[in-house]
Structure 1
Amino acid sequence: MDLGVENFNPFHPYLEIHQIHSRNQDSRNMALEIAPGIREKMLDLLVPTKKEIELQKRIIEQLCRLLRNRADILDVNYAFIEPQGSTGKKQTQLRYDADIDLFVGLDTSDYEETLALDSDKRDRKLGRTLDRLVDTWFQPVLEEVSAEQIQKAYSQHPYLTGEIDGVDIDIVFCFDLSRQEIMESGPITAVDRTPHHTNYVAQKLDDKLRQDVRIFKSFVKAGYGYGDKCAIGRMGITGFTIEVLSIFSGGLIPAIVRFLNLRDMPLDPENRTLEELMKIEGFQDDHLIIIDPTDTNRNAASSFDSRTVKWTNLRIEKLLGDIKEEDSAAIIKQVIEKPIPVSAPPSRIENHAHVSEFKSDENVHYTILRDKLYSLGNKLQYLLEKERTGEKRFGRALFEVYFEEPIYSIAFLVESPNISKKYERRGPPIHLSEAVRNFKESHDRIIEKDGYVWTIEEREWTNASNLIDSSISEKMPEELRRLPEIGDVSRKNLNVLHKYILQIETNFTLDDAEESNE
């Protein structure tokens, strides 16, 4: 079975099939490749130094040893303690951009009574148990090594974060479940699949493919579309999906072109068609499908934001063009991440913009606050675009959320930030006599035109910023405190909106707005 190229589109306009040769019968040799000299330059910037790798290994070995010792003291059972993610067995981390995720696997037999409860009671009791273990097991270990910024965080369940010698550390619980158990009954916690992901990727990557993953990952990061801290969209492209794409496609160029084609041609180890996959419950609203090879009931790309996907596709098109032209400077610019600009946007953009900045109390996981701000943004977007009667208000509105803990920002661009006090409200069609009569009884001034009755209404809001400020004051998440002035986080957010997002939101226009280029 050819898992690497099933459904692959060899006729993409940027690709010319030069020849086909067998590489485990799973990949094709594309004529379009990054020139060796350019590839070496990129890898010189992306591959971690020997010193970095040694530091990560030392921290991992020390923490694993201390966690085992502490478990013996507490007489706590566990199935395994090992690093996951890019700094674990996979070794796909980038230079100066790696953290350590230590997973402590628990045996389900030690928690049978709790796991037998219904889901709500189970989660509450399990949360209390894990909370206590974080305090008595994880916390003393990080304190013993003089870790900095030690903090208990909460996602689905509590875990502990800290920093050692500049390296971010997460110590996380999961349950030691087999792949079969996960496929048949699902995971117990959201991270129970992670050890299987690590083992799968580590077994499949060779040295060249590992470097391809690094380049692909850095490319996505350079576009601010990576992971759950992405700047463009609520949720970005994940490291695991980049690794899976690279493994199944056999290399960097086939992987990024395959990403372009995922909308119509999903990646599925079982070779199901798009029509078959879309019949699976929960897949209907997914923008792309990359089936998890360790659990073929799961779409590993289900969380991708459509905005992130559009932006990544646009950048891939440009990257392929730069590779074809062998434009070294342009390729490296696309692949190596730079900070988001903090310069002020052009005045004609600024006149349509509104941005608010907040500080977190740091007691809630960043994904929870991110999601709350996106929910607030969606509500405000609707209020900005429509009057309560359904008529157009300020026109099209865009928003984006960006954060650098503990600072969060929500920024808006509004088509018409100031509008008239009065507007025409359309009533029922003239031929609906009873509805027309009721409408006339409720409104003083009535006119008839275009087959409908109309009246003149007064707006509650004529300034978009006033509406946004009022709504934020009423609906702001309680874990956030609004700051009186904006800082660099908000300036970055505004630049994300006008420099990048306006390139893909083609139906959105601003009067006299300047064109934006990446």
Structure 2
Amino acid sequence: TWLPNKNEIDVFILFPKNLSLKQLEEIGLDTGKKIIESLKGKWTIEYAQHPYIRGTINGISIDIVPCYKLEKGEKIISAVDRTQFHVKYLEEKLPKEARNEVRLLKQFLKANDLYGADAKTNGFSGYLCELLIIQYKSFLNLLQAVKNWKVKEIIDIEKQWKKEDYNHLKKKFKDEILIVIDPVDKERNVASAVNAYNFFKFKKLATEFLEKPKEEFFFKKEIKPLSAKEFEKIVKERGTDIIAIIFDPPKVVPDILWPQLRKTTKRLENILKEYEFYVLKSDCWSNEKDLAVIILEMQVSRLPQIDKIVGPWVFDEKNARNFAEKHKNDAVAGPYIEDNYWVVEVYRKWTSARIKLIDSISESKDILQHKGIPNFIAEELSKKFKVIGSDELKKYLRNRDFAIFMRSYFEKENLALI
């Protein structure tokens, strides 16, 4: 069910179970290199759950992945071991006449940035597309169903679970919005990568297409890059303060980079929140080569010099004494009483979110990790970073992809199904 313009091949080499994981990796990599070299191609070592070879031959990308040869029902040793059973299942269950239906679905999703279970996209994998067509028989039938999907919709093609088990399944996959039971492994949700945004976007697109079918749904919409002038106007209208952290992305595969970028963004947001600098909205972007940007749009980026600390109830004498002792050297005013509580006023250490952010990031890799920054990002930040405001961020809009990202950041689509 390949799409015509997708020049990619995945080759899985099956090895006997008596090989250790280390032997599997060593022999698998060596075999992959020899195959690519024999076809006069170039190869690199990539990393997922374990290393594999990615080669390029005449413009075609080939992934050569080692895995264990298993019999049906045997315990999976690594995630890629399931693929052999997926292939057999699809050969049996996906009729030839349904393959074009899968291609239609894949193209529809791809055109709308919903195709791919990778960490950047958080969408629908190729295998999930094939299972959805097996379940609903055709692309149009699927869209009719999608329109009516509920949050935590359960699809169990092979009826491996009883209806009375559905509450258990919803708890088991508690953070997953769509549940599609893997026909070859009843404990696995094939749709685990699909996030809430993409779930509702698919529902909205299905509804719109069924109401007014158009060819343009199958082609990527051109997004105009945000200009510096537009950026200035939007920021002024919003009245917010934008802080951006600029650094080099780590040299890791996208499936490691994107979760770490998102986690770092949330962690920095929470660090600022601890000091009463509140973030309205945040996001992150990278070209996956030499530029990573974390955007923090501040609701509160500056605070007054004075902070009011509310202490214990006046009737709690023991804690009142401790409170007074704690603040005897830093109180600018007080302790005094307000609404039956002891209060002091003190000077704040941090009055600027930007300066606090620079202070928090200016640490060694180990300290950054201790603060909750993921390892690969921590390593890059410990080497070099800069924290900039709106004026300097404008310059980065010369990068077309970043300018497109910034338009998407400000112009969120309406996903409400009314």
Compared with structure 1, are the counterparts of its residues 304 and 435 closer, same or farther at alpha carbon in structure 2 (3 Å cutoff)?
A: farther
Shift of 1:173: 0.8
Q: Distance in 1 between matches of 2:315 and 2:61?
A: 68
Would the aligned equivalents of 1:292 and 1:299 in 2 still touch at CA under 8 Å? Answer: yes
Selected match of 2:295 from 412, 437, 446: 412
The whole-number CA distance in structure 2 between the counterparts of 1:465 and 1:219 is 42
1:454 Cα deviation (Å)? 4.0
> What TM-score, normalized by structure 2, do the two folds share?
0.77
8 Å CA contact 2:118–2:193 kept in 1: the answer is no
- Which position in structure 2 is the counterpart of 1:293? 183
Correspondence 1:251 to 2:138 = yes
Secondary structure of the equivalent of 1:278? helix
Q: Is the 8 A contact 1:130 1:158 kept in 2?
A: no
Change (3 A) 1:247 1:366: same
What does the per-residue CA deviation read over 1:451-488, in whole Å, with 9 as the maximum and x for residues that have no partner? 64444454444444444455455443326876778444
Find 2:9's aligned residue among 77, 100, 103.
100
Q: What CA distance in whole angstroms lies between the structure 2 residues aligned with 1:202 and 1:432?
A: 74
SS at match of 1:371: helix
The code of the aligned residue for 1:323 comes to L
| Aligned with residue 346 of structure 1, among 204, 207, 231 | 231
Q: CA deviation at 1:319?
A: 4.1
Corresponding position of 1:173: 66
Change (3 A) 1:397 1:201: same
C-alpha distance 319-284 of structure 1, shift in aligned 2 (>3 A):
closer
Match of 2:405 among 470, 489, 493: 493
Amino acid at match of 1:300: V
- Structure 2: gaps spanning 5 or more residues: 369-376, 387-394
Q: Distance in 1 between matches of 2:114 and 2:357?
A: 26
Moved over 6 A (4+): none
Structure 2 equivalent of residue 368 of structure 1: 256
SS of the residue 1:160 aligns to? strand
Q: Is the 8 A contact 2:7 2:59 kept in 1?
A: no
* Alignment CA distance shift 1:228-1:342 (3 Å): farther
Q: Which amino acid aligns with 2:179?
A: I
CA 228–429 in structure 1, closer or farther in 2 if over 3 Å, else same: farther
1:172 CA drift (Å): 0.6
Q: Report the Cα distance in structure 2 between the residues aligned to 1:176 and 1:457, rounded to whole angstroms.
A: 67
Q: Is the 8 A contact 2:277 2:301 kept in 1?
A: no
For 1:162-216, what per-residue CA distance to the aligned partner results, in whole angstroms no more than 9, with x for missing partners?
Answer: 22222222111111122311xxx3x211211112222323433335532332233
User: Structure 1 residues 161 and 408, CA, compared in 2 at 3 Å: closer, same or farther?
Assistant: farther
Aligned AA (1:346): F
**Matches of residues 141-160 of structure 1 in structure 2 within 5 Å?**
141-148=35-42, 150-160=43-53
Cα 1:503–1:413 shift into 2, 3 Å? farther
Deviation string 1:76-107 (CA, Å, 9 cap, x unpaired) is xxxxxxxxxxxxxxx2x223234111111111
Q: 1:139 — aligned with what?
A: 33
Match of 2:378 among 452, 459, 477: 477
Q: Which amino acid aligns with 2:272?
A: L
What is the CA–CA distance in structure 1 between the aligned matches of 2:49 and 2:311, rounded to whole Å?
48
Cα distance in structure 2, aligned partners of 1:471 and 1:490: 26
- The CA deviation at 1:131 is 4.3
Where in structure 2 are the equivalents of 1:210-225 lying within 5 Å? Answer: 210-225=99-114
One-letter amino acid of the structure 1 residue matched with residue 197 of structure 2? K
Gaps of 5+ in 1: 1-90, 115-125, 507-518
SS for the counterpart of 2:294 is strand
Asked whether the 8 Å contact 1:98–1:167 carries over to 2, the reply is: yes
Contact map agreement 1:231 1:493 (CA 8 A) in 2? no
- Relative to structure 1, the CA distance from residue 341 to residue 214 in structure 2 (aligned partners, 3 Å threshold; closer, same or farther) is farther
Matched position secondary structure for 1:210: helix
Distance 1:279-1:321 versus aligned 2 partners, 3 A rule:
closer
**Amino acid of the structure 2 residue aligned with 1:95:** P
Q: Could you tell me which of 68, 81, 85 is aligned with 1:196?
A: 85
Q: Is 2:249–2:289's contact at 8 Å kept on the other side of the alignment?
A: yes
- Match of 2:271? 383
Q: Cα deviation per residue 1:373-412 (whole Å; 9 max; x = unaligned)?
A: 222122112123332xxxx422433223x44433453432
Contact 1:174 / 1:192 at 8 angstroms: preserved in 2?
A: yes
3-state SS of paired residue (1:192): helix
Q: Could you tell me the TM-score, scaled by structure 1's length?
A: 0.63
Instruction: Trace 1:47-446 onto structure 2 (pairs within 5 A).
Output: 91=1, 93-109=2-18, 111=19, 114=20, 126-127=21-22, 129-148=23-42, 150-181=43-74, 185=75, 187-207=76-96, 209-229=98-118, 231=120, 235-259=122-146, 261-268=149-156, 269-273=159-163, 274-280=166-172, 283-305=173-195, 309-326=196-213, 328=214, 332=216, 334-338=217-221, 341-344=224-227, 346-350=231-235, 352-360=241-249, 362=251, 364-387=252-275, 392-400=276-284, 402-407=285-290, 409-416=292-299, 418-421=301-304, 422-443=306-327, 444=331, 445-446=334-335
Q: Secondary structure at the match of 1:291?
A: strand
Q: Deviations over 1:88-139 (max 9, x none)?
A: xxx2x22323411111111113x2xx3xxxxxxxxxxx24x34432553221
Q: CA 1:425/1:98 → structure 2, altered by over 3 Å: closer, same or farther?
A: farther
* Distance in structure 2 (CA, Å) of the matches to 1:169 and 1:204: 26
Kept in 1, the 8 Å contact 2:269–2:296? The answer is no
**Distance change in 2, residues 1:155/1:409 (3 Å):** same
Aligned counterparts of 1:482 and 1:277: Cα–Cα separation in 2? 45
Q: Using a 3 Å threshold, how does the CA distance of structure 1 residues 478 and 276 change in structure 2: closer, same or farther? A: same
- Deviation string for 1:204-244 (max 9, x for gaps)? 33355323322332333333333254656xx3332222221
Contact 1:355 1:409 in 2 (8 A): no
Letter in 1 for 2:278: F
Q: CA deviation at 1:320?
A: 1.5
Counterparts of 1:465 and 1:255, CA distance in 2:
48
Q: Amino acid of the residue matched to residue 407 of structure 2? A: N
